[in-house]
Each structure stands twice: as structure tokens, then as C-alpha cells.
Amino acid sequence: MNPDALATLHTHLLTALATAPAETRRLFHGRGRCWPGLEQLTVDWLQGVVLVSLFKEPEPQQLEDLKQLLMKITESAEWQQSRAHTLLLQHRYLLQSTTEWLLGDALEEMTITEGGLKYRVDLGRKQNAGLFLDMRYGRDWVRANAEGKRVLNLFAYTCGFSVTAIAGGADHVVNLDMSSSALSRGRDNHRLNGHDVSKVTFLGHDLFKSWGKVIGKGPYDLVIIDPPSFQKGSFLLTKDYQRVLRRLPELLTERGTVLACMNDPALGSDFLIEGVTREAPSLRFVERLENPPEFPDADVECGLKALVFRQGD
């Protein structure tokens, strides 16, 4: 983060705040490697809360310069116009992802909106707030394609896909995740939106030890797969994704659809296309969803991959 890079960040954030979004959005995506010197920095707009995340430890002077720049922005007309009230700096490179409150009162959680739907997120306590903003178009796609369908949401986390599926008219959604606390937050997210929770099932299980339960609740018209790249002791993307793909024919209806997602910059979309061709040859590739424009990437294959496959066509 040299002076030129910080000047770029300053200009970008003032421009973004001048037309602050009504809903939650990313304001600056340095991780896409489009701005030299800022590759390890992102800035998110949480409707009045500005969350700056650092993914690599900077030199002490660079960190001090960044903080001074951010505080200068809070004194600008653009900051006032945006009605921002809180500024956080999260050190993602630290084990606990320590968060500094540079401005505003400390909040443990808050409700944000995306696409008119509400989600409860954590602030300052966990590495991830609870909603991955780059998956916005994926959630939109699920909402547009869920009507009348039975949906399986694997690696559900806080059930963002489930919320949009029910909002889109899904008959039922089965959410599976190892984290009971994440699923509990998912249940809260459904209630925030006034959904009938009897249409939603929450399974707090290890997928690879629970195939019988998952298959028994099927078959499914739509299966969503959005795993972590790595989860110690439970999931390694390069090895375990194939184990999920080969079970798809057992999970799907005759003309079922799959949304398979991956966010490992080291692996391109061919990893999924070739994996489905090999492990579930009855499915064919339909399309790759675009990523939101606020997530530019110097190489699209390094960003989020969200691919649609369909059986029986």
C-alpha cells in the first residue's frame, strides 16, 4: 500500500460513498487484482457500517497511513451524505480476525438487506459476517428458479440460498451444514423474512456420514453445492468435491438442476465441468452465472465460479 495505491483507494471510496447503495454491497474489491498495491484489501457497505478487511499484514507505517486515510474519509462530505456512522477495520490475517472499531459504537450483530430480503450478520466476532456478497447473483438465480421446487442446499452456512428459494416460491428446502450455530442463524434469517419455517429442514450433519438422510428426503428438483475450499478435518475441495458430484444422480429428479459453486482462485471452471462430466455424465453444463460488477477480477477464472448443470436434457 504505497502512497499511489492509497490515493487510488481514497478516490474510489469517495466516489462510492457519494452514491452509497440502498442495500448491502461491496464498495472496493482489491482481491480481484485490478488495483496494484491493494490486492489484500476489501471494503464492504453494510448500510451505514463500512467494513474494511485486510487479508495480509501490512508494514506498521502502511497500516498507520491506511488508518489515517480512512479517518480522513469519515470527515468528508461524501461520508456525511452516505449517512455512514460506523467504520471497522478487520485484520483477517490474524487467527481471530481481530476487528478494530475506528468510528462508531461497537455492535455485535445487525440486520442487512439484499434484494429486499433480510439477513442477520455478525460484526467483530467472527471471520465472516454471515453473507458472502459475491454470491448475490447466485442467490438471485435461485430465487428466480425455485418456484414449486424441492431444494437441497449443501454446505448451507447461514442459509442465504434457502432464504431466496423460499422467497421464490420453493415447496421445501433441506439445508445441510456441520455447524449448528450457522443453521440456527439460518433459521433466524427465515423468520426475519416472515417465512413459513415448516417448509425448511435443517440438518446439522457431516454430509459424508449422512448420505442416507439426505437421499431419503429427496429427490430434489434443485441441488445447490457451495462448499468451502478447505475445512480442516471435513472438506478438501480438490478431493471431496468429486465425492459430492458422483452422488448427484441419486439426489436429483429426472430433470433436476444443479448449481455448483467454487471460490478457489487456483481452480477454474473446467474443474467443475470436467468433474461433472466424469462423475455424473447424465448432467450437462448449461451456463456460468456472471459475478456482480462490484467484484471485478483481472482473471475471471480466479473469481467465484457458479455453474448450472441440468439432468435429462
- pLDDT tens per residue across span 126-165: 778 889 999 999 999 999 999 999 999 999 999 999 999 9
38 phi/psi in degrees, rounded to 5 = -120, 25
Please state, in angstroms and rounded to a whole number, the distance separating the CA atoms of residues 21 and 44: 11
Q: What is the pLDDT of residues 156-206, one digit of tens each?
A: 999 999 999 999 999 999 999 999 999 999 999 999 999 999 999 999 999
Q: In this structure, what CATH number is given to the domain that contains residue 164?
A: 3.40.50.150
88, 100 contact by CB (below 8 A): yes
Is 44 domain-assigned?
yes
One domain for residues 147 and 98: no
Cis? peptide before 219, omega within 30° of 0: yes
Return d(Cα 72, Cα 90) in angstroms, integer. 18
Residue 175: in which H helix or E strand, if any?
strand 172-176
Q: Mean pLDDT, consecutive 10-residue segments, the chain of 313 residues?
A: 92 96 96 95 96 95 96 97 96 89 91 97 83 97 98 96 98 96 96 97 92 94 89 75 93 96 94 96 96 96 96 78
Q: How many domains does the chain have?
A: 2
User: Are 6 and 42 contacting, i.e. CB atoms less than 8 angstroms apart?
Assistant: no
Q: How far apart are CA 96 and CA 192, in angstroms?
A: 28
Q: Are residues 80 and 180 in the same domain?
A: no
Provide the CATH number for the domain around residue 69.
3.30.750.80
**Residue 128 belongs to some domain of the structure:** no
Q: Residue 101: give the domain boundaries.
A: 3-107
Does the residue 113 lie in any domain? no
Residue 201: helix, strand or coil by DSSP? Answer: strand
Contact 226, 154 (CB under 8 A): yes
Residues 194, 273, single domain; the answer is yes
20 and 78 belong to one structural domain: yes
Let me know whether 22 and 152 are in one domain.
no
Q: Kindly state whether residues 143 and 282 are assigned to the same domain.
A: yes
The structure's pTM equals 0.94
Angle at 70 between CA 66 and CA 75, to 5 degrees: 145
